Chains A and B, each alone.
Chain A
Amino acid sequence: GAGVSQSPSNKVTEKGKDVELRCDPISGHTALYWYRQRLGQGLEFLIYFQGNSAPDKSGLPSDRFSAERTGESVSTLTIQRTQQEDSAVYLCASRRQAGGPPGTDTQYFGPGTRLTVL
């Protein structure tokens, strides 16, 4: 079946502009995550959505970053007034459901959006 998709695949923007990144999770997956990966680095957690629960925003680096999710479908990550340090690959992942033995969940990642801020 279809995997996690993200758009755009590449985004080049000028410093100070706002950008919006989109994630389409696997159908039926209730949990959705955003991560950021700077060049040559591991992934940094940004935000987590689970059903209708309040999202875990503990990883958002500043108030310029925000994310929304409509029900159990599409999510958008918005970065306002972009800075050069925001340049990175932004990865989205989804998971089928909460529950099951804790610690056994598997996340499915999209290909990422490469953001370059000039």
Chain B
Amino acid sequence: DAKTTQPNSMESNEEEPVHLPCNHSTISGTDYIHWYRQLPSQGPEYVIHGLTSNVNNRMASLAIAEDRKSSTLILHRATLRDAAVYYCILRGAGGTSYGKLTFGQGTILTVHP
């Protein structure tokens, strides 16, 4: 799977929106963009994924640049429970990469009350 680049850490205040960026300049045309997050002392959990169009679900929104070389995970109103490490991952369309997720270092999100 292609590489992603994320800031090491970000901070936000409770009730404010948070925009978590991810760069993936070597993304291929069939790579899906996935976001997972890992709360303290827990396993990662799926947040959202997309291919080309922006996506919304109950947890977050995903904005994908027109050239697909970057994306942004948007938490519309951060809560203290959103404090976690957020991972941006590209999922290939098959071959030997099919199945496993390649995790980078992620972004540590701190939410202040």
Q: Which of A's residues lie within 8 Å of B, judged by CB?
A: 4, 31, 33, 35, 41-45, 48, 50, 56, 58-59, 91, 93, 95, 98, 102-112
Q: How many angstroms from the CA of A103 to the CA of B68 in the assembled complex?
A: 15
Once the chains bind, are B45 and A56 in contact (CB under 8 Å)? no
Q: How would you classify the secondary structure of chain B's contact residues: helix, strand, loop or mixed? A: loop
| Contact A106 B49, CB 8 Å, known A91-B43, A111-B42 | yes
In angstroms, how far is the closest chain B Cβ from the Cβ of A25? 13
Contacts A42-B103, A58-B96, A107-B44 aside, 11 further interface pairs with beta carbons under 8 A come to: A31-B99, A35-B103, A42-B106, A43-B44, A91-B43, A103-B91, A103-B93, A105-B91, A107-B46, A108-B46, A111-B42
Q: How many angstroms from the CA of A95 to the CA of B46 in the assembled complex?
A: 11
Q: Which residues of B contact A93 (CB under 8 A)?
A: 43-44
Tally B residues with Cβ within 8 Å of A.
27
Once the chains bind, are B49 and A111 in contact (CB under 8 Å)? no
**B34-62 interface bits toward A, Cβ cutoff 8 Å, 1 = contact, 0 = none:** 10000001111110010100000000000
Q: Which of B's residues lie within 8 Å of A, judged by CB?
A: 30-32, 34, 41-46, 49, 51, 87, 91-94, 96, 98-106
Q: Which residues of B contact A95 (CB under 8 A)?
A: 99
Q: Which residues of B contact A111 (CB under 8 A)?
A: 41-43
Once the chains bind, are B100 and A45 in contact (CB under 8 Å)? yes
Pick the contact of A107: B98, B101, B105 (CB < 8 A). Answer: B101
